[in-house]
Amino acid sequence: MNPEVCLTCEDVERFLGEDESRVHALRGVSLTLEAGTVHSVVGPSGCGKSTLLYILGLLDTPDAGCITIKSEAVLHLPDDQLARKRNELLGFIFQFHFLLEDFSAQENVMIPMRRLGKLPEKEMLDRAAMLLDAVGLESKRTRPSRHLSGGEQQRVAIARALANDPEVILADEPTGNLDTENSYRAFELLQRIVQDGGKALLLVTHNPQIAELCDWVHEMKDGVIVNTHARA
Amino acid sequence: MTPPLYIALRFLSHRKRAFLLSLAGVVFGVAIFICSQAQTQGFAQQFINSTLGSNGSVVLRARFQPLGTGLLVPPKSSSAKANAMHRRYLEGITNAREIMRVSRQFSNVAACSPVLRGTLSARAGFENATVDLYGIDAPLHVQTTDLTKQLIDGSFDDFRDNATSVIVGSKLAEVLNLVAGDSVQLLSPGGDYWRFTVAAIARSGVGPVDAGRIYCHAKVAQTLLRKPFPASMIIYKLRDPERAPALAKHFEALFQHDTQSWQEREVGNLQLFLTLRMSAAITVSLIILLAGFGIYNVLTMSVLSKVKEIAILRSMGYRRADISAIFLWQGAMIAAVGSLLGCTAGALLTWGVSHIPIRVRGLIVTDHFLVAWDWRHYFWATLLAIIAVFIASYVPARRAAQLPPVSTLRGSSV
């Protein structure tokens, strides 16, 4: 049986900058993310990894190509509906956590849930508590996120990305700001969630050890995926 | 609670100083607006009440007859002034009782009273003054005016029971050194002095009335002034004084007597008060406008400092409208709390000002600041604050909504 396809992109092109500084950041990139798989994108700085991630996350629009989420083409959708797709189907994890510093860990996790608006306050609190428990922060739920360590903040970011039970998790160097031990812990956590929950994870990383632990590794160079290989 | 409102509340609670600064501007503007309007309207209202209490809402005067204009066709929209040029006026009202009987049929007429008016000289001791004599029918006049409430010395009963008694205006009494019980002499047109007893002193609060008026009984006035008619005017008290102009116009056409509403009579003074109110409103609106600039700055700074948070929210599925709403809600909360506190402060300030002693003896007479308690002042102040804050919030909110999240997410490093 073929695994369910969560997200695909075909022949994605993206130009960045204007006039003389115009750069061809993505040159016909195609990718397919199936449920329950972990993909990594590796390559040198400036090769287009983050650009690809923001386009797949519907935060940026490609100049050409097609993106489908759950078999639905999405690029023609208006901005409000793209926002809704981001809220319902996608979860973002950034390198620098990007938590709302004045909000507690619990409140940060609840932000996507509030926008979705499907759960009452009590259930949102319960779900946030459950997710924070899952990332090992049960004792620090009410602590303002700026008072958490780097590793703890990244775990809050992971819990937040999972808040609305997304189909696809997009992570931009999620371990780039962590020490080795915390990097592996964070990756293992994500890997477990993806495999247990039947989600797809696309990970941009500079860390070759982390990349090699993924199901699929996509090597990028100058805006092109030059090589794709499965885990050895 | 909507997500934007929740986030707006949290953002505000973490920028307390900026929030309080914005709030202070709105509170100050709203409070000053209310207080200044209460004062200017208070003085105007006192003047209106005083003049209505002394001179009535409508005054019907001399009879007129249209002058023949031969073959001249009158213009369709002829003005009152043009009409007056084609009239012949006849002094006095000969059928005052009949006019009053008909007038009372009108629902807006609460009471009416005939007055025989004339100008003559008064003498008391070594002092002389020109006085405005009002010959009144005491029972009717009391129903039509506030004369009994205006007495500051003596008694109205003494006046009513004694045909040779008078009531003297307070400022005139000061000039003639009169108190209740004194006597005053009035010089008749025939050249002989008539002696009257001062039954009471009246203070109406209207400068010209207090400075020149003497009330006596109508029959005595008719003899003293040697008039063939019992009344030279009829004054009306109306249930709704605001409708006086329409009634005056109707009476003029109906009775063929020159008729004037209080608005027409006091047009100069009313315009003066209106100008003062407008001037105060414009000045205070500028304060609210300045508060609006303050809020604009605070929210613009807030947008600039929350660029990262805006990008994060966008990445989590918040729409442009949600981002915009976060900043509009902040403005709305400043406006709501500011208006509420401003209205409270305005009421307290107005109460405080109303207790400040001030001695005014001119167009109106008062011993303390006059204020008007009117819900419309609070409504307009709140509306002005809401408009100013909305305009001040709209631009930063719009700017926040347009921020592209990708450039922020790419460029940020905590």
Q: Do A115 and B309 touch (CB under 8 A)?
A: no
- Which candidate from A60, A100, A112 shows the least CB-CB separation from B406? A60
Q: How far is A21 from chain B (nearest CA, A)?
A: 16
Contact A59 B315 (CB under 8 A): yes
| Residue B363 clears pLDDT 70, i.e. is over it | no
Residue of A132, A157, A133, A100 whose CA lies nearest to B3: A100
Q: Do A79 and B10 make contact, defined as CB atoms within 8 angstroms? A: no
Instruction: Please report, for residues A25, A210, B228, the alpha-carbon distance to residue A228 in angstroms, rounded to integers and kept in the order given.
Output: 19, 16, 122
In this prediction, residues B364-380 reach a mean pLDDT of 86
Model confidence over B186-196: pLDDT tens digits?
998 888 889 99
Helix (H) or strand (E) holding B9: helix B3-13
Residue B373: partners with Cβ closer than 8 Å, 6 or more residues away: B38, B350
Residue B320 with chain A: CB contacts under 8 Å = 79-80, 83
pLDDT of B164 strictly over 80:
yes
Determine contact: B403 vs chain A, CB below 8 A: no
Q: How close does chain B come to A136, measured CA to CA in Å?
A: 23
Nearest-CA distance from A228 to chain B in Å? 25
Closest Cα in chain B to A153? B414
Higher-confidence residue of A32 and B69: namely: A32
Instruction: Of A223, A202, A219, give the one whose Cα is nearest residue A93.
Output: A202
Indicate the fold that domain A37-60+78-227 takes in CATH: Rossmann fold (3.40.50)
Check pLDDT > 50 for residue B413. no
pLDDT tens-digit profile of B317-335?
899 899 989 888 988 888 8
Q: What residue in A sits closest to B408 (Cα-Cα)? A: A98
Q: Do A94 and B10 touch (CB under 8 A)?
A: no
pLDDT digits (tens, 9 = 90+) for B25-41: 888 888 988 998 898 88
Kindly tell me if the per-residue pLDDT of B409 is higher than 90. Answer: no
Residues of B in contact with A57 (CB under 8 A): 315
The nearest CA of chain A is from the CA of B326 a distance in Å of 13
Contacts of B410 in chain A (CB under 8 A): 50, 54
Confidence band, pLDDT 50/70/90 cuts, at residue B414? very low
Nearest CA in chain B to A94: B409
CB contact under 8 A, A96 and B413: yes
Identify the pLDDT of residue B205.
83
Residue of B nearest to A91 (CA): B316
**B317, A98: Cβ pair inside 8 Å?**
no
Residue indicated by tokens 């790419």? B410
Q: Which of residues 299-318 of B touch A (CB under 8 A)?
A: 308-309, 311-318
Q: Which of B315, B320, B408, B413 to mutate to test the interface with A (most CBs of A within 10 A)?
A: B315
Q: Give the span between the Cα atoms of B163 and A177, in whole angstroms.
A: 106
Q: Which residues of B fall within a CB distance of 8 Å from A109?
A: none
**pTM for the full predicted model:** 0.71
Amino acid type, B50: S
Residues of A with CB under 8 A from a CB of B: 50, 54, 57, 59-60, 79-80, 83-88, 90, 92, 94, 96-100, 102-103, 107, 111-112, 114-117, 160, 164
Question: Which residues of chain B make contact with A54, given a CB cutoff of 8 A?
Answer: 406, 409-410
What's the confidence (pLDDT) of residue A3? 67
Q: Angle at the Cα of A226 (from A224 to A229), degrees rounded to 5?
A: 130
Judged by CB atoms closer than 8 Å, whether chains meet at A102 and B10 is answered as: yes
CB contact under 8 A, B317 and A100: no
3-state secondary structure B215-241: EEEHHHHHHHHCCCCCECEEEEEECCH
Interface touch B316/A80, C-beta < 8 Å: no
Mean pLDDT of chain B: 86
Q: Provide the residue ranges of all domains of chain A, joining segments of one domain with +.
A: 37-60+78-227
- pLDDT at residue B72 tops 70: no
CB atoms within 10 A of CB B295: 30
Contact A54 B308 (CB under 8 A): no
| pLDDT of residue B148 exceeding 80 | yes
pLDDT band per the 50, 70, 90 thresholds, residue B62:
confident
Q: Which of A54, A60, A83 sits opposite B317 (nearest CB)?
A: A83
B349 touching A, CB under 8 A? no
> Any idea which of A109-123, A147-161, B232-246, B363-377 has the lowest mean pLDDT?
B363-377
**With the CA atoms of B138, B143, B149 and B155 taken in that order, what torsion angle do they form, in degrees rounded to the nearest 10?**
30
Q: Which residues of B touch A83 (CB under 8 A)?
A: 314, 317-320, 322
